[in-house]
């Protein structure tokens, strides 16, 4: 099998789309050495550092015709590579279905609240059109929650969409040698964007900090449509950090807090659990599915304040949740994601004949 994978998410510096594309492509190449995988895009991107020899890159569109990427350029690229399968990792597949293709529907947030994605007009318009015209042979959703939502909203045949959960990189593990923090802290990791309810988290932390000397660390890229937070004592806005540093932050936190309004999977939740962090989340359906009873959940602002207060008073209350999280995280891996995704590729080949 020769598969072309949309590498456009690799142009992002961080975030779930980049993590998914990078980890999945590497795991596919590792688990299926008999296949050839090509990361393709009309934009410049870097090949993952851990790429096996059967994972290669091909970037850029040449002439004016090829710059019409989804209509002509991608097709010419796939002809040149002799690729027989396309995987759209970011809500898109070629406009003309000359080969089998798989589209990943990460979540339905672009269609739920326009304020969550100020720059997603193209996705909001293009993806439903591609689905209605049957341009994708098969679909992948990261959770059963999103699979059901996609079937309901887009009327996708249930046999053509599979729930394929993500994994967490193997280097996310508890760091025994991580230095103890001088001040206890709660941690948020993720893109700072409207959907993540960061404002609610900061407000809850302020309530806790009135009584307990605990900081709040926000790690992640700030998207342009997210309002800049004003500096204040105890609030650490550290931006993007290395995965090595993230593992240390997960290990040392009182609790990882992820009160997102809506998710398709919630990768930081799994990564935090795999590092042995106590996790507090919202009651979003996909996060609930991923957490599998291994996270404290807050369905309101008051519940969020109470959960954070209890752990600030006595961090050892989080120990049982840390153990549950570690047990739950073992059930996920990018190798499993790759195997299940490959099964979808095989089904797409059968259906396209």
The pLDDT, as a whole number, for residue 34 is: 98
DSSP letters spanning 35-67: SEEEEEESS--PPPTT--TTEEEEE---STTTT
Structure confidence at residue 69 as a pLDDT band (50, 70, 90): confident
| Residues near 336 by beta carbon (within 8 Å), at least 6 away in sequence | 165, 167
CA 298: distance to chain centroid?
A: 21
Burial profile 80-119: b = 16 or more Cβ within 10 angstroms, e = fewer: ebebbbbbbbbbbbbbebebbbbbbbbbbbbbeeeebbee
Domain spanning 2-167+333-352: which superfamily? Glycogen Phosphorylase B; (3.40.50.2000)
In 10 A of CB 241, how many CB atoms?
15
Cα–Cα distance, 172 to 300 (Å, whole number): 30
Instruction: State which CATH number among 3.40.50.2020, 3.40.50.150, 3.30.470.10, 3.40.50.2000 fits the domain covering 185-329.
Output: 3.40.50.2000
Residue count of the chain, please give it: 353
Cα–Cα distance, 20 to 28 (Å, whole number): 12
Q: pLDDT tens digits, residue range 138-157?
A: 999 999 999 999 999 999 99
276 three-state secondary structure? coil
Q: pLDDT tens digits, residue range 231-284?
A: 899 999 999 999 999 999 999 999 999 999 999 999 999 999 999 999 999 999
The pLDDT, as a whole number, for residue 156 is: 97
The pLDDT, as a whole number, for residue 178 is: 62
Whether residue 227 is predicted with pLDDT greater than 90 in this model: the reply is: no
Task: Please give the average per-residue pLDDT across 169-185, as a whole number.
Answer: 83
The pLDDT, as a whole number, for residue 282 is: 97
Whether residue 118 is predicted with pLDDT greater than 80 in this model: the reply is: no
The pLDDT, as a whole number, for residue 58 is: 87
- Contact by Cβ (8 Å): 73, 67: yes
Q: Which residues of the chain form CATH 3.40.50.2000? A: 2-167+333-352, 185-329
Kindly compute the dihedral angle of the four CA atoms of residues 230, 206, 188, 247, in this order, to the nearest 10 degrees.
Answer: 110
In 10 A of CB 216, how many CB atoms?
23
Structure tokens at 64: 């004016």
Structure confidence at residue 177 as a pLDDT band (50, 70, 90): low
Q: pLDDT tens digits, residue range 286-305?
A: 999 999 999 999 999 999 99
Name the nearest CA neighbour of 123 among 146, 151, 91: 91
Burial profile 272-298: b = 16 or more Cβ within 10 angstroms, e = fewer: bbbbbbbbbbbebbbbbbbbeebbbbb
The pLDDT, as a whole number, for residue 270 is: 98
Name the nearest CA neighbour of 161 among 99, 95, 86, 102: 102
- Contact by Cβ (8 Å): 2, 39: no
In 10 A of CB 34, how many CB atoms?
6
Whether residue 65 is predicted with pLDDT greater than 60 in this model: the reply is: no
Q: Please state whether beta strands 255-258 and 185-189 pair in parallel, antiparallel, or not at all (unpaired).
A: parallel
Q: Any idea what DSSP says for residue 73?
A: I
Whether residue 326 is predicted with pLDDT greater than 70 in this model: the reply is: yes
The larger pLDDT score, comparing residue 117 to residue 77, is at 77
Whether residue 61 is predicted with pLDDT greater than 90 in this model: the reply is: no
């Amino acid at each position: 099998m020769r598969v072309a994978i949309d590498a456009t998410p690799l142009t992002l510096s961080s975030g779930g789309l980049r993590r998914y594309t990078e980890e999945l492509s590497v795991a596919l190449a590792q688990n299926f050495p008999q296949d050839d995988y090509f990361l393709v895009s009309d934009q410049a991107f870097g090949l993952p550092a851990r790429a096996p020899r059967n994972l290669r890159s091909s970037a850029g569109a040449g002439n004016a015709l090829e710059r019409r990427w989804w209509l002509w350029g991608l097709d010419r690229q796939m002809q040149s590579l002799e690729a027989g399968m396309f995987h759209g990792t970011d809500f898109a597949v070629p406009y003309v279905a000359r080969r089998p293709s798989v589209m990943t529907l990460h979540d339905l947030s672009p269609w739920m609240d326009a304020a969550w994605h100020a720059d997603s007009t193209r996705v909001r318009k293009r993806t439903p059109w591609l689905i209605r015209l049957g341009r994708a042979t098969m679909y992948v959703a990261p959770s059963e929650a999103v699979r059901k939502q996609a079937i309901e909203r887009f009327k996708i045949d249930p046999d053509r969409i599979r729930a394929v959960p993500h994994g967490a990189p193997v280097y996310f593990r508890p760091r025994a040698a991580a230095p103890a923090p001088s001040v206890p802290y709660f941690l948020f990791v993720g893109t700072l964007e409207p959907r993540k309810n960061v404002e609610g988290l900061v407000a809850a932390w302020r309530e806790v900090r009135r009584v307990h000397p605990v900081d709040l660390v926000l790690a992640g890229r700030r998207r342009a449509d997210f309002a800049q937070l004003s500096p204040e004592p105890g609030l650490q806005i550290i931006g993007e950090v290395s995965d090595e540093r993230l593992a240390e932050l997960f290990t040392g936190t009182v609790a990882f807090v992820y009160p997102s309004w809506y998710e398709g999977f919630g990768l930081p939740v799994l990564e935090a659990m795999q590092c042995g962090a106590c996790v507090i989340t919202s009651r979003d359906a996909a996060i609930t599915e991923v957490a599998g009873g291994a996270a404290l959940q807050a369905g309101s602002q008051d519940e969020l304040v109470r959960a954070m207060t209890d752990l600030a008073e006595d961090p050892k209350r989080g120990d049982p949740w840390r153990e549950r999280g570690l047990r739950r995280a073992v059930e996920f891996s990018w190798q499993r994601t790759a195997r299940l995704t490959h099964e979808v590729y095989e089904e797409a080949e059968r259906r396209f004949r």
